[in-house]
């Protein structure tokens, strides 16, 4: 007897982290896997789906220009009842902390459908940082029957909240599954590697590469202005190439391009596809970010990370000394980047440490095994 599992994704990060799970479900004779894209992100979501060769069975197409969190959630709620009636899933799988995941999980709970939360238990215990993700994640975890915690720290958070222990399984993070598969692909495909090299031939290989990402709502306005001031100072060093794929949100894009136009040694580029971002991440010596997933991906590749936030729901990297929290103060950012670059020479040791923090690349198989009741068959471990 098969079980019908409906995986729901809406944003690029969700698609990346759910891709290994969706592929594992599709390969199992014990599962009838169905995929729905809400379209919360459109262009960036479609890029990831193409890279992982995933074709959604359903698309709610909820994205509208200038939507608010409330209008987005209301459109998902409005459309998703019909989807659940049509698919009749045994389990709805969602990921993380997005509006898509929250609305889909609550709607499934209202219909009496079991919910699986892939990446459960991450917490800052500050409702404003990250906003609205902290609330979304807690709401999903409350209604989920299957809580797939990426780390022991996440499991402890769930237990502290008195969630039933037999609902919780520590799996590792699926983002590491996706990362290892993709980096292996880049390293093993000479033609792909050559194409990526050519795409980024504007980066001076004689200089050290600092990769930057930034998009958090809590930094809109003055926060991004301070981040730009820090980047302008770092660009004056002369030994750095700074590559910043700028988020499309006008609250980010407008400020960054106005304040950093013409800045030395800074390449402001359009958002890149997942393969290209993994290439840049693999090539960089240090990472400056406010992203949660990038903290994990960088750790698995042995990269030091400077986190432009006051708190993080992924404390493992900070506790291990791979990451440093600095907020958006330019002085703190510049000093932390200096420390990160100084420690980048120990990359092999850092990679070995990072592989133990967030997963071993087998999270999707553990989730599949839990849903089917079968012991997962793991692939051979990769060399560090």
Catalytic residues: 97, 119, 133, 215, 217, 247
Report the alpha-carbon distance of residue 234 to residue 334 in Å, rounded: 7
> Cβ(182)–Cβ(17) under 8 Å?
no
Going by C-alpha positions, the residue among 116, 219, 213, 239 that lies closest to residue 167 is: 116
Report the alpha-carbon distance of residue 135 to residue 295 in Å, rounded: 20
SS3 211: strand
Report the alpha-carbon distance of residue 6 to residue 137 in Å, rounded: 19
| Token output for 130 | 């990250």
Report the alpha-carbon distance of residue 168 to residue 144 in Å, rounded: 10
Report the alpha-carbon distance of residue 6 to residue 72 in Å, rounded: 20
| Token output for 340 | 């990160």
Torsion of CA 125, 118, 292, 107, to 10 degrees: -70
By CB atoms closer than 10 A (0-12, 13-18, 19+), residue 188 is exposed
By CB atoms closer than 10 A (0-12, 13-18, 19+), residue 313 is buried
Residue carrying structure tokens 């936030």: 309
> Cβ(173)–Cβ(300) under 8 Å?
no
Distance of CA 250 to the CA centre of its chain: 21
DSSP for 41-67, please give it: SSHHHHHHHHHTT---SEE-----TT-
Query: Angle at the Cα of 376 (from 374 to 382), degrees rounded to 5?
Result: 175
What separation in angstroms does the CA of 239 have from each of 234, 265, 338? 9, 9, 12
């Amino acid at each position: 007897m098969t079980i019908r599992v409906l995986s729901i994704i809406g944003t690029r990060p969700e698609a990346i982290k759910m891709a290994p799970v969706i592929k594992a479900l599709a390969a199992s004779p014990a599962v009838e896997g169905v995929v729905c894209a809400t379209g919360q992100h459109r262009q960036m979501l479609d890029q990831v789906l193409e890279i992982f060769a995933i074709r959604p069975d359903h698309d709610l197409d909820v994205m509208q220009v200038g939507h608010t969190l409330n209008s987005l959630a209301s459109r998902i709620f409005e459309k998703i009842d019909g989807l659940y009636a049509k698919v009749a899933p045994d389990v709805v799988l969602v990921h993380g902390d997005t509006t898509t995941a929250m609305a889909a999980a609550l709607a499934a709970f209202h219909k009496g459908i079991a919910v699986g939360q892939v990446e459960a238990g991450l917490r800052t215990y500050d409702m404003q940082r990250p906003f609205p993700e902290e609330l979304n994640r807690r709401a999903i975890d409350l209604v989920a029957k299957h809580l797939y915690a990426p780390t022991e720290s996440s499991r402890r958070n769930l237990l502290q909240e008195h969630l039933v222990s037999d609902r919780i399984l520590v799996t590792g993070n699926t983002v590491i599954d996706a990362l290892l598969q993709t980096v292996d692909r880049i390293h093993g495909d000479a033609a792909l590697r050559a194409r990526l090299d050519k795409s980024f031939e504007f980066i001076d290989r004689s200089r050290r590469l600092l990769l930057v990402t930034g998009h958090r709502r809590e930094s809109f306005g003055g926060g991004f202005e301070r981040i730009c001031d820090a980047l302008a100072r770092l660009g004056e060093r002369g030994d750095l190439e700074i590559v910043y794929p700028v988020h499309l949100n006008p609250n980010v894009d407008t400020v960054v391009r106005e304040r950093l136009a013409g800045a030395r040694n800074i390449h402001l580029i359009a958002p890149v596809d997942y393969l290209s971002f993994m290439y840049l991440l693999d090539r960089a010596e240090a990472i400056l970010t406010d992203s949660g997933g990038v903290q994990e991906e960088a750790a698995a590749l042995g990269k030091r990370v400077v986190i432009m936030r006051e708190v993080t729901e992924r404390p493992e990297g900070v506790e291990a000394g791979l990451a440093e929290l600095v907020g958006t103060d330019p002085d703190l950012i510049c000093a932390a980047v200096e420390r990160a670059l100084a420690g980048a020479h120990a990359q092999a040791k850092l990679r070995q440490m990072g592989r133990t923090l967030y997963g071993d690349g087998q999270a999707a198989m553990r989730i599949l095994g839990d849903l089917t009741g079968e012991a997962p068959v793991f692939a051979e471990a990769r060399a560090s």
